Structure 1
Amino acid sequence: MSLKEDGFKASNIIEQIDAGLKALPEKEKANQIKKTNGIFQLNIQNSDKKAAVKEAIWVIDLKNAGTVTKGAAKKADVTITLGDDTFLGLADGKVNAQKAFMTGQLKVKGNVMLATKLDNVLKAAKGKL
């Protein structure tokens, strides 16, 4: 199943995270799961100026399987809601997550401390690409 979502630049990065996780040797993947121990649900909003705001949802499971899926999680440990451009900035390291949170560009529901580990997940996945 494709993780692509038309109109969302974030879907390219989501696919890179998926590829990065799949490329990890089993021992490294198990280590990453143990270190992170959480399920992230990313609600990414695309603010297309011509249309209403659309939302795409992806789940990064680093608690059980080390997988990335499209669609809502049965039980996410943390739900992060942010805009497409904010997500791209986080992935590129151009946006500070704490600053984005403080300015309302990024909203967190659930385990806030786990949300801080998303940055490490993005970096780890990028390092494998």
Structure 2
Amino acid sequence: MSDIKEPGFKTSEVLATLAQVFEKMPEAEKKKQIKTTNGIFQLNVKNSEGKEAIWVIDLKNEGKVTKGAAKKADVTMNLTDDTFMGLADGKVNGQKAFMTGALKVKGNVMLATKLDGVLKGAKAKL
């Protein structure tokens, strides 16, 4: 899992945990999650130092989290480390972040709304 972590990014801790949740998930449950979500999310996250890291949450084919750009993401989200943490904690509303420009989305915007459920579902399994 250490290949997912990126020094200086709080986001990487959340995504490493999410990756562990997917790994431990029974195959049937993982298939159900993939069927429900059916999308590949690319997260372009910028930290407070201005560095950028990219992660991919694949809930279309494999049900896993990887570091680095996707070959073909269904939705790409550009946000700061703090904004992602707020979304993951449930302290930041995704729609509000989008409307205020804190979250920029390219691709399937409706799919982007499913990420909230994925993060909440993973948090519940911890």
TM-score bracket for the superposition, by shorter chain length: over 0.9
Q: What is the rounded CA distance, in whole Å, between the counterparts of 2:33 and 2:76 in structure 1?
A: 19
Task: Give, in angstroms, the shift of residue 76 of structure 1.
Answer: 0.2
Aligned partners of 1:46, 1:21: CA distance in 2, in Å? 25
Asked if 1:80 corresponds to 2:77, the answer is yes
| Runs of 5+ consecutive residues of structure 1 not aligned to the other structure | none
Distance 1:67 1:92 in 2: 20
Q: CA deviation at 1:40?
A: 0.2
Partner of 1:115: 112
Q: Which residue is 2:19 aligned to?
A: 18
Aligned residue pair count: 125
- CA-atom RMSD in angstroms: 0.8
Secondary structure of 2:28's counterpart equals helix
SS for the counterpart of 1:61 is: strand
Alignment gaps of 5+ in structure 2: none
**Percent identical residues:** 70
AA at the equivalent of 1:87:
F
Q: Is the 8 A contact 1:23 1:128 kept in 2?
A: no
Q: What CA deviation, in whole Å up to 9, does each residue of 1:7-65 have, x standing for no partner?
A: 101100010110111111111100000000000000001122xxxx1110000000000
Query: After the TM superposition, which segments of 4 or more aligned residues of structure 1 sit over 3 Å from their partners?
Result: none
| Partner-residue secondary structure (3-state), 1:12 | helix
Shift of 1:125: 1.1
> What amino acid is aligned across from residue 30 of structure 1 in structure 2?
K
Measure how far apart 1:99 and its partner are.
Answer: 0.4
Question: How many angstroms apart in 1 are the aligned matches of 2:86 and 2:95?
Answer: 13
Check whether the contact 1:24–1:128 (CA below 8 A) recurs between aligned residues.
no
Name the TM-score, length of structure 2 as normaliser: 0.97
Residue 48 of structure 2 aligns with which residue? 47
Structure 1 letter corresponding to 2:23: K
Q: Which TM-score applies when normalising by structure 1?
A: 0.95
CA contact (8 A) 1:44 1:57 kept: yes
Shift of 1:82: 0.4
CA distance in 2, matches of 1:118, 1:74: 19
